[in-house]
Amino acid sequence: MPMDANSLTELGVKAIRDGVAAGDFTAREVAEAFNANVAAASALNAFIVATPDHALAAADAVDAARAAGEALGTMAGVPIGMKDLFATRGVQTTAASHILEGFEPEYESTVSANLWKAGAGMLGKLNLDQFAMGSSNETSYFGNVISPWRRNDGGNAALAPGGSSGGSSAAVSARLAPAATGTDTGGSIRQPAAFTGISGIKPTYGRCSRWGIVAFASSLDQAGPMARDVTDCAIMLEAMAGFDPKDATSLDLPVPQWEAGLNPDMRGKKIGIPREYRMDGMDEDVAKSWDDGIAWLKDAGAEIVDVSLPHTKYALPAYYIVAPAEASSNLARYDGVRYGLRDLPDGAGLQDMYAATRAAGFGDEVKRRIIIGTYVLSAGFYDAYYNQAQKVRTLIAQDFAKAFEQVDVILAPTCPTAAFGLGDKTSDPLSMYLNDVFAVPASLAGLPAMSVPAGLNREGLPLGLQLIGRPFDEQGVLNAGLALEARAGFDAKPERWW
Ligand code: GLN
């Protein structure tokens, strides 16, 4: 069945892969259609660089393999967006920071290499919050991404696509890519997915190799897929994950067949509803969508159980100690010697060069995190802040472990509100940080967690529901996501104004 370019860009990962394999269309036609959408969407600023030739080359290789009767990979013919936090050989990799501008790695991240091996191609490098620090994509050196979504009030206020994977979320929801990589340190896959009506999963810490991903907070950073639906996330996560001896925290476990294991039947499953997430003054639409989610999972056969995660209120403060502490250590490598930018004032010595390079190269939010991080790690304050935060982290992990003695999966909202306006929170970092209040606990505990679209709020903006699972139980999370997805029937998409 011949398809026009507009219908091809409506397809997701599975439909593209299966259509290419069946000969309904070629991988090249798909790559061309998405390349055209990327080129026509510069107003969204979702990509830092487009790499149409990479997408075409990968597509041609798939078409040739098919013609030769060779076996095709699980992502064969699927062009994707790559968050610009993944090192890609010979293609500028910036973490959306001036300090890495012009850096072309000599190596490929393990996750991206896995995706290319599975037959995917690269449409370009996606914009993000600088060093993945942020919740709105406004800390990018390359300018913020604009969400393709608008409120239904007739105005056209520019909205945040979420962050830090804001280029990924905008690109997937605007049909510039059928899927994209994200990374999640404290919500950066789930929150932008929720803001833009797409799905995204952060797997168990260690599932995806961190090798070749620009480090933010190494004990929290995890890569994961962002795509239009749960099945596409399962397919892509399977391609991304796997043991990697080059990452000391990589899980030495086989990758389960998540796609083959998808099953939305929730009979016999217990779903936990964490009491502490129902906050005073909770947004009414968010509370309603949570209630919808509960009803949908009940309808799928699950038993609903109240659970308590008593240390929830300490998660955000602990995160904002642990993450900056690790960031301050990780970012010490950007010194003007080894990567990207070098600012060497006339007659300056080595120390002056470090200082000048960092002053010019790091954005304000990155500097704020480095200052917080060095402070909480300093001799006089280490015990009071960093050590305390580590203890709180353990308590949070224990809260979850206890809850998972009673239930299989936990259901909560992904975010306290729908997307906010660009500029609304830039002057108040605490209100920005509060956005991640529901996302951060699962990060601190290293648990798999997913966001799926649940519906629209009264302003016509997407809301996401979050599913949190036991360690290594991505399958349980994906299956509950599938049960929700089938009942939410979410098919809204942004109107094309760009
Ligand atoms: N918004 C959070 C932060 O700024 C989480 C970011 C992330 O997960 N990369 O730290």
- CB of 244 closer than 6 A to ligand 1? no
Q: Burial level of 434, CB count in 10 A (0-12/13-18/19+)? A: middle
Q: Which atom of ligand 1 is nearest to the CA of 185?
A: 8
How far apart are the C-alpha atoms of 483 and 396, rounded to whole Å?
A: 27
Q: How many CB atoms lie within 10 A of CB 471?
A: 18
Q: Which atom of ligand 1 is nearest to the CA of 183?
A: 9
- Residue 279 included in any domain: no
- CB of 26 closer than 6 A to ligand 1? no
Query: Which of 160, 172, 232 shows the shortest CA–CA distance to 198?
Result: 172
Query: Which of 202, 196, 155 shows the shortest CA–CA distance to 175?
Result: 196
CB neighbours of 203 closer than 8 A, spacing ≥ 6?
222, 224, 237, 241, 448, 474
Mutate to test the pocket of ligand 1, among 188, 321, 433 (most ligand atoms within 8 A of CB): 188
For residue 1, the model assigns a pLDDT of 53
Gap from CA of 269 to ligand 1 centroid (Å): 31
Sign, CA torsion 117/77/38/83 = negative
Q: Which residues of the chain have pLDDT under 70?
A: 1-2
- Residue 315 included in any domain: no
Reduced to 3 states (helix: H, G, I; strand: E, B; else coil), residue 170 is: helix
- CB of 187 closer than 6 A to ligand 1? yes
For residue 2, the model assigns a pLDDT of 61
- Residue 11 included in any domain: yes
For residue 281, the model assigns a pLDDT of 86
- Residue 433 included in any domain: no
Query: Which of 478, 467, 448, 452 shows the shortest CA–CA distance to 207?
Result: 448
How many domains does the structure of the chain reveal? 1
- Residue 156 included in any domain: yes
Domain that holds residue 93: 5-263
- CB of 365 closer than 6 A to ligand 1? no
- Residue 197 included in any domain: yes
- pLDDT tens sequence across 80-127: 999 999 999 999 999 999 999 999 999 999 999 999 999 999 999 999
For residue 121, the model assigns a pLDDT of 98
- Residue 69 included in any domain: yes
Residues 180 and 203: beta-carbon distance below 8 Å = no
Gap from CA of 161 to ligand 1 centroid (Å): 14
- CB of 473 closer than 6 A to ligand 1? no
Tokens (6 digits) for 444:
């601190």
Which domain CATH number covers 87? 3.90.1300.10
- Residue 144 included in any domain: yes
Q: Which residues are catalytic?
A: 83, 164, 188
